[in-house]
A = this chain, B = another copy of it.
Amino acid sequence: MSRIHHPPPEAFELTRMLHALSDPVRLEVVRSLARNGEQTCAALDGDRPKSTMSHHFRVLRDSGLVETRGERTAHLNRLRREEVEARFPGLLDAVLRPES
């Protein structure tokens, strides 16, 4: 929690979001969130250190792709599908195709 800030859709920047999506680890996280809905950070690390994942989640949050809800001790992450779709229509669909 604390200084976790989520930008409003008007503040989304395309290049920032594309950069966030251009990392294999983060892209896999986004796909898992799209497939399985809300998940904790722990469920999404691929045996990677927590500090590494925390960094990736921060990049995803700053871009607007992910919202982290600090419920209880475990944080829940969700994909901001509607907001991203409204701001950059078609982008998520293109990136989430299984064969991509």
Contacts and interface: CB of A to CB of B under 8 A. Distances in A.
Interface residues of A, number: 20
A95 interface: yes
Interface string A61-100: 0000000000000000000000000011111011101001
B23 A15 contact: yes
A14 B27 CA distance: 10
Nearest to A28: B15
How many protomers of this protein does the assembly include? 2
A90 B100 CA distance: 11
Contact of A94 (B16, B22, B94): B94
Nearest to A18: B22
Nearest to A27: B15
